[in-house]
Amino acid sequence: DEDEDEDEDALEEKPAKVNVMSKQRSRAAEAGGDDMDDDDDDDDGGGGESMDFGVSRKNPEARRREIFGAPGHLGRSLVAACVNSAGSMLRSATASDVLFETCSGGAGGVVVAAVGEAQMRELHAAVAEAARASVAGEAPAAA
């Protein structure tokens, strides 16, 4: 009989937990967020464009330098892609934002520090040539 009472108590507790989770998911859905996430500590209503994956222990500048500047990492690849695709990137609203941020050197100049002045001059020259060709009505150069 005691086992049956414990089982009944366990069954009674589960619906309360489901209701709490449903309320949290409802708040996230109302806020426009992902209602299927597993974060139970999302007290701000969740959702929106940004996601909080926790607080990094590293300084944001150190993290950017690590990501962009380490050999074989993002900085050189990003600049090379922008040089090779400058013309098409200028014609795309989203890609032109990436191109602008890359040409400006990134937050805190992290891209310039990662690739150096010579590659940045090459990028600026490629963007200038793509803009010149576009204004002149020339066909985009093959990469």
Q: Give me the tens of pLDDT residue by residue for the chain, a chain 143 residues long.
A: 555 555 555 555 544 444 444 444 444 444 444 444 444 454 555 555 666 677 668 777 777 777 777 766 788 888 899 999 999 999 988 999 999 988 888 887 888 888 888 889 999 999 999 998 888 887 665 54
Burial class of 130 by CB neighbour count within 10 A (0 to 12, 13 to 18, 19+) = buried
- The 3-state secondary structure of 15-41 reads HHHHHHHHHHHHHHHHCCCCCCCCCCC
Q: What's the confidence (pLDDT) of residue 128?
A: 94
Q: What's the confidence (pLDDT) of residue 77?
A: 85
- What is this structure's pTM? 0.53
Alpha helices in the chain (DSSP H): 2-30, 60-69, 74-84, 86-90, 93-103, 110-115, 117-136
Residue 89 in tokens: 């990137």
Q: What's the confidence (pLDDT) of residue 105?
A: 84
Coil vs helix vs strand at 56: coil
Q: What's the confidence (pLDDT) of residue 5?
A: 55
Q: Which residues of 71-105 are buried (b: 16+ CB within 10 A; e: fewer)?
A: eeebbbebbebbbebbbebbeeeebeeebeebbeb
